[in-house]
Amino acid sequence: MDFTVETATAAVMESFQGTKDPRLREVMEGLTRHLHAFVKDIEPTMEEWEAAIDFLTAVGHKCDDTRQEFVLLSDVLGVSMLVETMNGDEHGTESTVLGPFHMTESPRRELGDSIDLLGTGRLCVVSGRVLSPDGTPLLGAELDVWQCTEDGFYDVQQPDVQPPGNGRGLFRTDDEGRFWFRTVVPSHYPIPTDGPVGALLRATGRHPYRPAHVHFIAGAAGHRPVTTHAFVADSPYIHSDAVFAVKQGLITDFTESNDQQEADRYGVTAPFRHARFDIVLATAPEATA
């Protein structure tokens, strides 16, 4: 049978019939079906096809040990969030993207410690509990926390300015499932724009900013871990995150507090900002607990 626009998709799908792994076959057949539908839909010229090849090649060439431009592309096309959302658990706190800055190990810290090693910012307290879906506090739950500075940079982006581990901490909840630590209010910031994904954003009139947020990975025995953010409610771009990661349930008030008694409890001076963020972990299926 001849290769025509009409027969093309069936011919390519048939070529994957001999795939031993049934899941790989399913993925390749699905890719063929949807990729061909896209191509037939937009009818690219040869020059446009070449431009697409050049773009993908440039994205690949931008990737190295500290930069993942394909993850960035997946992010700005909403694919990362789509996959993350489909893999989330409705019984727990909503998940959101891991992002590209979880590349070093966070230092172990005690409850109440400050993760702000620079000491130049206005202190803020983040506190909350890790809970089971039925409200049971999860004691000894592990929390990995990371965030950028008030200027919008992570420690790994400013090795000459920030000590390693600034803005990061590994915490364990207390006997009542509680956690609390001191930090600064993080800033909104742009995703890297010096590569082909940045050029794509400029060409499509999109801004590169993410609203301010604190990253969390929370886990506890017998529960499904969750990767999520606490978003700063009054941050710019809270309604137009360049990577589509904001969910209503994750938007958190970083409230201004003048209560010096409360400030004393956390080792800060009023007025200070206080964010309360509880994390619910869905129960893990027994087999994988």
Contacting a second copy within 243-272 (CB under 8 A): 244-249
Beta carbon of residue 193, minimum distance to a second copy (angstroms, whole number): 15
Q: Please state, in angstroms and rounded to a whole number, the distance separating the CA atoms of residues 118 and 44.
A: 52
| Residue 287, Ramachandran bin (φ over 0: left; ψ between -120 and 50: alpha; else beta) | alpha
Q: Which stretch binds a second copy (CB under 8 A): 154-162, 199-207, 260-268, 276-284?
A: 199-207
Which position among 66, 120, 136, 204 is part of the footprint of a second copy (CB under 8 A)?
204
Beta carbon of residue 89, minimum distance to a second copy (angstroms, whole number): 13
CB of 141 within 8 A of CB of 194? Answer: no
22 binds a second copy, rule: CB under 8 A: no
Partners of 28 in the β-ladder: none
Which position among 31, 199, 221, 270 is part of the footprint of a second copy (CB under 8 A)?
31
CB of 281 within 8 A of CB of 94? Answer: no
Beta carbon of residue 211, minimum distance to a second copy (angstroms, whole number): 13
Cis status of the peptide bond prior to 208, with omega within 30 of 0 = no
Which position among 22, 34, 115, 260 is part of the footprint of a second copy (CB under 8 A)?
34
- Contact code string over 41-80 relative to a second copy, x by CB under 8 A: xxxxxx-xx---x--xx-xxx-x----x-xx--x--xxxx
CA angle centred on 34, ends 30 and 38, rounded to 5°: 165
Count of chain residues binding a second copy (CB under 8 A): 71
Of the pair 8, 111, the CB lying nearest a second copy is at: 8
Contact positions with a second copy (CB under 8 A) in 106-135: none
Could you tell me which of 139, 217, 126 has the C-alpha nearest to residue 178? 139
282 binds a second copy, rule: CB under 8 A: no
Q: Please state, in angstroms and rounded to a whole number, the distance separating the CA atoms of residues 178 and 240.
A: 32
- Burial classification of residue 169, based on how many CB atoms lie within 10 Å of its CB (0-12 exposed, 13-18 middle, 19 or more buried): buried
Q: Which stretch binds a second copy (CB under 8 A): 119-127, 160-168, 202-210, 268-276?
A: 202-210
